[in-house]
């Protein structure tokens, strides 16, 4: 990696000023949008991942190709930057530990350690009094049978580590299914979560600065298709009491984990109006993409402000918004009809620079702005439908 010039000052207390180089572990679309925000504010960005010509690398000042378990490469990378952050949580904790010997890592490696493993995450949350779905560790078929009985005969079996977008998950509705499902989990630490007949899925994206300042983006509603986020509506149409409780829980989790950066809390809204924490993501999140267009300070700029020790920006939302994902499925019959989507004047097109569309792969998203959240959702759907027409 060649030297990246930096004339930036690092103030006492850890504030890192524009002109500094931010290191990013990971190189997907989250890093791409973070880099755009960072460069707009005068920072340089270096990214490290095992791939090249990546969504982040295409817009960063420097793209380093190395494995996350190549600790010598991680150390060399850390020596060249003024602060290190990440855009995807499945970075080995050994990598963040190696980097932390040379440069601040924000959020810290302990946050990664907790959140990249479902069992550790749920144990942490329940131990700190946050409401979570009932869960049981599973390391054998016998433990699965006992856990399933404790959950009333229904549950969601998940690998404890390295799962997202529905990967490593299986729904079990009876003991008869165990023989078919268990072989894929044998030898892999897992957790069984009780099945929750929730009304809606919600999330809250929030940021916590070096000073302890916390800001949130309010509560949004998420709708999934095939376990992948399909639509986010912001703000969610929920009672004020539900919104307050969701944000209270989120702020408490950031404090308990001592997060410096951005974290998303995914929640289940139950039919009785109570909320349960489903999962945590210690980074910017798909359900916060709308903030790039709809808020005074996007989640990506907020991540930059937090990890650099700057005061956090306003999270005020200027207009109701909705975001729909663009998956590789859209390319099955050729290039999408971009001109048709561009005919919607209040719809913003975001593409991630990925060269190979695949079914289920996130290739981009659309954000629609409108007078109401419902109208924004309708516009976003209409624009995506227009992409498929020739």
Residue 15 lies in a domain: no
161 plus 82 within the same structural domain: no
At residue 169, the pLDDT reads: 83
**What is residue 52's predicted lDDT score, i.e. its pLDDT?**
95
- Domain finish residue from 194, 211, 230: 194
Residue 111 lies in a domain: no
- Same domain (yes/no): 183, 219: no
Q: What is the domain range of residue 68?
A: 21-105
* 64 in any annotated domain: yes
Residues 29 and 154 in one domain: no
> In 152-174, which positions are buried (b, 16+ CB within 10 angstroms) versus exposed (e)?
eeebbbbbbbebbeeebbbebee
**Residue 54 CA to its chain's centroid (Å):** 18
List per-residue pLDDT tens for the chain, 390 residues long. 444 555 556 765 679 999 999 999 999 999 999 999 999 999 999 999 999 999 999 999 999 999 999 999 999 999 999 999 999 888 888 899 999 999 999 999 999 999 999 999 999 999 999 999 999 999 998 999 999 999 988 899 999 876 555 567 888 988 878 888 888 888 889 999 998 889 999 999 999 999 999 999 999 999 999 889 999 999 999 999 999 999 999 999 999 999 999 999 999 999 999 999 999 999 999 999 999 999 999 999 999 999 999 999 999 999 999 999 999 999 998 999 999 999 999 999 999 999 999 999 999 999 999 999 999 999 999 999 999 876
Tokens encoding 174: 């009876």
pLDDT at 390: 60
Question: Which of 55, 90, 105 is the last residue in one of the domains?
Answer: 105
CATH number of 305's domain: 3.30.470.20
Pairing of strands 214-225, 190-194: unpaired
DSSP secondary structure string, 20-84?
A: -EEEEE--SHHHHHHHHHHHHTT-EEEEEES-SS-TTTTTSSEEEE--TT-HHHHHHHHHT-SEE
Say whether both 363 and 229 belong to one domain: yes
Do residues 161 and 116 lie in contact, with contact meaning Cβ atoms separated by under 8 Å?
A: yes
Question: Using CA atoms, how far apart are residues 9 and 42, in angstroms rounded to an integer?
Answer: 13
Regarding whether 188 and 205 lie in a shared domain, the answer is no
For 207, 319, 377, the CA distances from 315, given in Å and listed in that order, are 10, 12, 21
**Residue 218 has what pLDDT?**
97
Residues 259 and 373 in one domain: yes
Question: Which pLDDT value is given to residue 90?
Answer: 83
337 domain-assigned: yes
209 inside domain: yes
Same-domain check for residues 208 and 98: no
How many structural domains compose the chain?
3
Please tell me the predicted confidence (pLDDT) of residue 75.
Answer: 98
Same domain flag for 163 and 247: no
Query: Are residues 182 and 230 located together in one domain of the fold?
Result: no
Q: Is residue 125 part of a domain?
A: no
Query: What pLDDT is attached to residue 3?
Result: 44
Query: Is 231 inside a domain boundary?
Result: yes
Q: d(Cα 132, Cα 171) in Å, to the nearest integer?
A: 18
What pTM did the predictor assign? Answer: 0.93
DSSP letter (8 states) at residue 313: P
- Peptide bond before residue 236 is cis, with ω within 30 degrees of 0: no
Last residue of a domain, one of 155, 171, 194: 194
- Within this chain, do residues 90 and 154 fall inside the same structural domain, yes or no? no
Domain harbouring 145, CATH code:
3.30.1490.20
Judge if 312 and 222 occupy the same domain.
yes
Angle, vertex CA 67, rays to CA 306 and CA 285, nearest 5: 35
Residue 259: helix, strand or coil by DSSP? coil
pLDDT of residue 176: 78
36 in the same domain as 57: yes
φ and ψ of 218, to 5 deg: 80, -175
Does 16 reside within a domain?
Answer: no
CA atoms within 13 A on the CB side of 22: 35
Tell me the CATH number at 94. Answer: 3.40.50.20
């Amino acid at each position: 990696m060649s030297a990246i010039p930096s004339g930036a000052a690092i103030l006492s207390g850890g504030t890192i000023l524009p002109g500094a180089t931010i290191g990013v572990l990971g190189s997907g679309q989250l890093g791409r949008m973070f880099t755009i925000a960072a460069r707009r504010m005068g920072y340089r960005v270096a990214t490290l991942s095992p791939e090249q010509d990546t969504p982040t690398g295409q817009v960063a000042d420097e793209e380093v190709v190395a494995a996350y378990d190549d600790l010598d490469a991680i150390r060399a990378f850390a020596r060249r930057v003024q602060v290190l952050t990440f855009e995807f949580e499945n970075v080995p904790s050994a990598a963040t530990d190696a980097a932390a010997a040379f440069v601040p890592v924000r959020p810290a490696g302990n946050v990664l350690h907790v959140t990249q493993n479902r069992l550790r995450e749920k144990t942490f949350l329940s131990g700190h009094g946050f409401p979570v779905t009932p869960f049981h560790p599973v390391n054998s078929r016998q433990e699965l049978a006992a856990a399933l009985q404790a959950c009333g005969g229904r549950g969601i079996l998940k690998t404890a580590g390295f799962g997202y977008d529905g990967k490593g998950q299986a729904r079990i509705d009876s003991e008869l299914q165990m023989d078919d499902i268990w072989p894929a989990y044998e030898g892999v630490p897992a957790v069984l979560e009780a099945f929750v007949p929730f009304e809606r899925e919600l999330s809250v994206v929030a940021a916590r600065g070096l000073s302890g300042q916390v800001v949130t983006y309010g509560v949004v509603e998420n709708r999934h298709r095939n376990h992948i986020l399909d639509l986010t509506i912001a703000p969610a149409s929920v009672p004020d009491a539900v919104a307050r409780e969701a944000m209270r829980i989120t702020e408490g989790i950031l404090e308990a984990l001592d997060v410096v950066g951005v974290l998303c809390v995914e929640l289940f809204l139950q039919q009785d109006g109570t909320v349960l924490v489903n999962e945590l993501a210690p980074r910017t999140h798909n359900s916060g993409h709308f903030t790039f267009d709809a808020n005074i300070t996007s989640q990506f700029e907020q991540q930059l402000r937090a990890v650099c020790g700057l005061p956090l920006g306003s999270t005020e939302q200027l207009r109701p918004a909705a975001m729909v994902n663009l998956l590789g499925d859209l390319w099955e019959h050729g290039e999408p009809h971009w001109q048709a989507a561009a005919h919607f004047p209040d719809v913003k097109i975001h593409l991630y620079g990925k060269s190979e569309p695949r079914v289920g792969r996130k290739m981009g998203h659309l954000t629609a702005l409108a007078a109401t959240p419902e109208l924004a959702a309708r516009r976003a759907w209409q624009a995506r439908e227009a992409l498929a027409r020739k």
